[in-house]
Structure 1
Amino acid sequence: MNILPPEIVLSILEYCVINHYGDKNSLLGLRTVCRLFDHVIKPYVLRTLQLEFTRLDKVARHERPLDHDALARIGHLCHALYLDLMLVRDDGEPSNQLPALPRTLHPVLTRLLLPTGEVSYLSKIFSAVPSMEAFVTTLRDRYCLNEASFTEVDYRDNLGKLLEYTPNASAVRLNLPFQLISKHCRAATMILGNTFEALAQRPEDSARVRTLVLENVTDTTIVKLWRNPRDVRNIIDAFSALENLLISVRRHEEGQAQTINFRHRLWEMIGKAPNLESLCLISLDWDEGSFEPIKTTTQRDCSIDDWHFRSIPTIRKPPKSVLARLTYLELRRVEVSGCGLLSMFKCFKDSLKELYLNQVYLKKVHSAGAPGSSNDLLWIGLPNTRPPQHHRWIATCLRQMELRLRVCRVASLGYDQYVIGEEPHPMPGYDLEDPSGLGRTLEQRFVEVVSGIQQPDAPDGSPVAYWPEQEEQAWAYADRDRPHDMEPRDWSAPHYFSTQKNPTSGWQKTIDCQFPNFNQFTLDELHWFADTACKGMSKISRAMDGEEDRQHAGHHGPDNSEDVPGTNAQLGDTTFHGMDLD
Structure 2
Amino acid sequence: METLPPEIVLTILEHCVASHYGDKNALLSLRTVCKLFDDILKPIVLRTLQLEFTRLDKVSRSCRPPDEDALQRIGHLCQALYLDMMMIRDDGEVRYLGKIFSHVPTMDYFMETLRERYCMNEGSFTELDYRERLGSLLEHTPNMSAVRLNLPFQLISHHCRAATMILGNTMEALAQRPEDSMPLRTLVVENLTDTTVVKLWHNPRDVKNIMDVFSGLEHLILSVRRHEPGQSLAVIFRNRLWEMIGKAPNLKSLCLVGLDVDEKQAPPQSQYVKTTTERDLTLDEWQFRCMPTIRKPPKSVMPHLACLELRRVEVAAYGLISMFQCFSTSLRELYLDYVYLKTVNASDSPEETDDCLWVGLPNVQPPPNHRWIAVHLRQMRAQLRVCRASNLGYDQYILGDLASALPPAYDLRDPSGLFRPLERRFVEVALGYRQPPDYDGSPVAFLPEDPDSQPWALADREPPSQPRRPDAEFGDLASEDPKTAWWSAENHLESASHRKNTTSGWQRNGIDGRFPNCNPFTLHELQHIADTALEGMSLVQMLEGGRLQDEILADLAAVNGQTEE
Q: Is the pair's TM-score, using the shorter chain for normalization, greater than 0.5?
A: yes
Residues 222-250 of structure 1: per-residue CA shift (max 9 Å, x gap): 11111111001100100111000000111
The question of whether the paired residues in 1 share the 8 Å contact of 2:155 and 2:555 is answered with no
Which among 231, 234, 252 is matched to residue 256 of structure 1? 231
Q: CA deviation at 1:490?
A: 2.0
1:214 aligns with 2:213: no
1:485 to 460, 463, 466: 466
After superposition, the CA RMSD in angstroms is 1.8
Deviation readout 1:489-532 (Å, 9 max, x if unpaired) = 42001222314521111211210000000000000000110111
Residue aligning to 1:158: 133
Whole-angstrom distance in 2 between the partners of 1:88 and 1:572 = 16
Cα shift at 1:581: 7.9
Q: Quote the sequence identity (%).
A: 63
User: For structure 1, which runs of at least 5 residues remain unmatched after alignment?
Assistant: 92-116, 545-559
4+ aligned runs moved over 4 Å, structure 1: 562-572
Q: Quick one: which amino acid aligns to residue 530 of structure 1?
A: A
Greater displacement, 496-505 / 71-80:
496-505
TM-score, length basis structure 1: 0.90
Counterpart position of 1:393 = 372
Q: Which residue of 2 aligns with 1:18?
A: 18
Per-residue CA shift, 1:468-496, capped at 9, x if unaligned?
A: 11121111011001322277442001222
CA-to-partner distance for each residue in 1:385-411, whole Å, 9 max, x for gaps? 111111111100110000010000011
Contact 2:81 2:148 in 1 (8 A): yes
Residue in structure 1 matched with residue 506 of structure 2 by the alignment = 507
Aligned to 1:467: 447
Matches within 5 A, 1:174-323: 174-292=149-267, 293-323=272-302
Q: Look up the equivalent residue of 1:426 and give its one-letter code.
A: L
Residue 353 in structure 1 maps to residue 332 in structure 2: yes
Amino acid at match of 2:415: P
Residues 534 and 568 in structure 1, CA contact (< 8 A), matched pair in contact too: no
Q: Distance in 2 between matches of 1:410 and 1:263?
A: 24
Separation in 1, partners of 2:314, 2:503: 19
Aligned to 1:51, the other structure's residue is in SS state strand
* Cα drift, residue 572 of structure 1: 5.4
Q: Is the 8 A contact 1:538 1:566 kept in 2?
A: no
Q: Which amino acid in structure 2 is aligned with residue 452 of structure 1?
A: G
2:531–2:560 Cα contact (<8 Å) kept: no
Opposite residue 490 of structure 1, the aligned amino acid is W
Give, as a single letter, the amino acid of the residue that structure 2 aligns with 1:191.
I
Structure 1 CA distance for aligned equivalents of residues 511 and 353 of structure 2: 43
1:306, 1:440 → 2: CA distance? 34
Question: Which ranges of structure 2 fall in alignment gaps of 5 or more residues?
Answer: 468-479
Contact residue 533 and residue 556 of structure 2 kept, 8 A: no
Count of matched residue positions in the alignment of Structure 1 and Structure 2: 540
Question: What secondary structure is seen at the aligned counterpart in 1 of 2:7?
Answer: helix
Q: CA deviation at 1:167?
A: 0.6
Deviation at 1:126, TM superposition (A): 1.4
Q: Which residue of 1 aligns with 2:535?
A: 535
CA positional deviation for 1:566: 12
Cα 1:263–1:567 shift into 2, 3 Å: closer
- The one-letter code of the counterpart of 2:105 is P
Distance 1:196 1:119 in 2: 26
| Alpha-carbon distance in 1 for matches of 2:552, 2:456 | 57
| Preserved CA contact (<8 Å) 1:90 1:186 | yes
Query: Which has the larger displacement, 155-164 or 479-488?
Result: 479-488
Candidates 574, 577, 580, aligned match of 2:558:
574
The residue type equivalent to 1:33 in the other structure is V
Secondary structure, in 3 states, of the residue corresponding to 2:326? helix
User: Which shifted more, 179-188 or 352-361?
Assistant: 179-188
In structure 1, what is the Cα distance between the partners aligned to 2:421 and 2:552? 38
Q: Give the counterpart letter for 1:90 in structure 2.
A: D
Relative to the length of structure 2, the TM-score reads: 0.93
Matches within 5 A, 1:360-439: 360-423=339-402, 425-439=405-419
Residues 520 and 504 of structure 1, relative CA distance in 2, 3 Å threshold: same
SS in 1 for 2:63: coil
Q: Which amino acid aligns with 1:481?
A: E
Matched with 1:441 is: 421
| Partners of 2:62 and 2:420 in 1: CA distance | 60
Tell me the residue number matched to 2:110. Answer: 135
**Counterpart Cα distance in 1 of 2:184 and 2:548:** 50
Deviates more, 1:292-301 or 1:496-505: 496-505
SS in 2 for 1:573: helix
- Indicate the residue corresponding to 1:476 in structure 2: 457
Residue 182 of structure 1, CA deviation: 3.7
Separation of aligned partners in 1, 2:175 and 2:308: 26
